[in-house]
Structure 1
Amino acid sequence: MLVVLGGGLIAMAATTPWHTDANAYFEGLKGIRESLYDDTGGTGGMDSFDRASRDFHALQDRYETPKWLYADLGYAAMAWSLLLYVAAVGGWRATRRVTVVVPLSLALLVTGLFASAFQAVGREQVPEWADTLAIPLMGAVGVGIVLLPVVLALALAPILFTRRDPVVLWSVVGRRWGTSLVVSLMYLAPAGLAVLAVLVAWQTGGWAISTGGAVMLWLLLNARAIWLGRSTPVSTQPLP
């Protein structure tokens, strides 16, 4: 169903024009460019760039169509259909085997941030005089560097330092109420960030950010389920 929906939205995006009135849009853009370069040739400075950027985005808002919204929702529907298929085949229950899932989550999140930068440039949604790629790309790299140790620690700590079998993924209590409360509070903030990532599916690059957020949310719930589980007894039988 999501595949059909995604294909339909992408087809709608392909047939929707970029602007409600292309001639008026490009005439307005020409005026902004002329004003900017006349000002910067004199004493306008950074104020001229700021004013030109504000005028550019106002012009975009005035003549925008739902073309890119259709496209982004279509990409998100396709990505989510693939993610749900993988979850249905591989299973989504709590497990101690998450070696591949951790880098997948980070790769999707960083890919989404890169895609949001490149797609905005390709769609001409950002002004040519702004630093439209360097800042977002450096931000994506920074997010990856910050998230990597945090996600690794939260997702792998119960696997590396305990021998617990996980409880049901949505379990409320687990071993004891006190333990459940402490562990749940420990994972509450990062789980909230993962939920926010899921909710950006309709934005540029959201197809990857939202699916990455969903995978991260599963990783965090999985780690919580392991913390709340009971320890696996170590066998004391002598070897034959």
Structure 2
Amino acid sequence: MEKIRELAVKLKENNKPLKIAAVIIVVIAAVLVFAVKGNSDTISIEDAHAAKDTAAEESSETKAKVYVDVGGEVESPGVYEVDKDARIYEVIDKAGGLTGKADTTDLNQAEVVKDGQKIVVASKVESSGSGSGSQGTPSGASTSAAGNGLININTADSTELQKITGIGPVMAGKIITYREENGRFSKIEDLKNVSGIGDKTFAKMKNKVTI
């Protein structure tokens, strides 16, 4: 721009036609400068918006969380926020890890958690104490707890579950499926979470079951 101005001054000193030409040159140069600057600003603004949208999408993906309730034999039971694709073992780690009494025999720690899921880590005392009888009954097929004739809904197989009032083969299968998907029952009232077991059905069996 400085060189253009110097040229314009020289032309002005020579004659009027040249003066007019100089003015035209200055105007054209100014228009070109502003046009280039304007295009540059437009591109910068568009690029900034694109970068912002990309960052927002990435942030949304990384912030997807679920809430899981973990209890039983963990150091710090409670509700924890984890990534939507987290595994059960990761939730257990957040809860301080397993206690020395934990029994993970029936717990699939590699399972992907679900929002609102309840995870109960069983105790070795519960697992072993419910199935040892005078005949050495295996703990996985327990028929009673402390010899009182109650069915342990956390360890009983289909045959044992059908000994509970109101439970047939289909309902026994539903109880086992619920146990596999949600972990062990933390209280007998949790039976009402099984599809098909309402208040009336539970009332008939509540004195026949234990955990």
Q: Same fold (TM over 0.5)?
A: no
The TM-score by the shorter chain falls in which range? under 0.3
Normalising by structure 2, we get a TM-score of 0.22
TM-score normalized with structure 1 length: 0.21
Task: Identify which of structures 1 and 2 has the higher relative contact order when contacts are C-alpha pairs closer than 8 Å and 6+ apart.
Answer: 1
